[in-house]
């Protein structure tokens, strides 16, 4: 059990700042491990890959409309 979460968060933040950017092979290994964990937990792959696509399309339309309106100024 973590007794001082603020101290742990401070340590993690400093560690990340001092490590620099991830290399591509390390980032790929990290992504693969996270994907495998999600599959093991039953979160991925989704049962219906198109679930929620309507919301994504609506947001995309709104953002595209904002971009078009802001470029004419």
Residue 63 in tokens: 């953002």
Residue 24: the pLDDT is 95
Q: Which residues, at least 6 apart from 44, have a Cβ–Cβ distance to it below 8 Å?
A: 35, 38
Q: Note the pLDDT of residue 36.
A: 96
For position 49, what pLDDT does the model report? 87
Q: Does residue 1 fall inside a structural domain?
A: no
What pLDDT is stored for residue 60 in this prediction? 95
Domain-located, residue 25: yes
Q: How many domains does the chain have?
A: 1
Give residue 36's domain range.
Answer: 21-71
Q: How far apart, in whole angstroms, are the C-alpha atoms of residue 66 and residue 27?
A: 33
58 within a domain of the structure (yes/no): yes
Task: Confirm whether 6 is domain-assigned.
Answer: no
pLDDT mean values, one per 10 residues, the chain (73 residues): 92 89 93 96 90 94 87 59
């Amino acid at each position: 059990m973590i007794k001082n979460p603020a101290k742990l968060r401070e340590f993690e933040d400093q560690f990340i700042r001092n490590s620099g950017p991830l290399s591509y092979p390390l980032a790929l290994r990290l992504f693969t491990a996270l994907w495998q964990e999600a599959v093991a937990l039953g979160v991925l792959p989704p049962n219906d890959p198109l679930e929620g696509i309507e919301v994504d399309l609506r947001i995309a339309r709104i953002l595209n409309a904002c971009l078009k309106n802001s470029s004419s100024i």
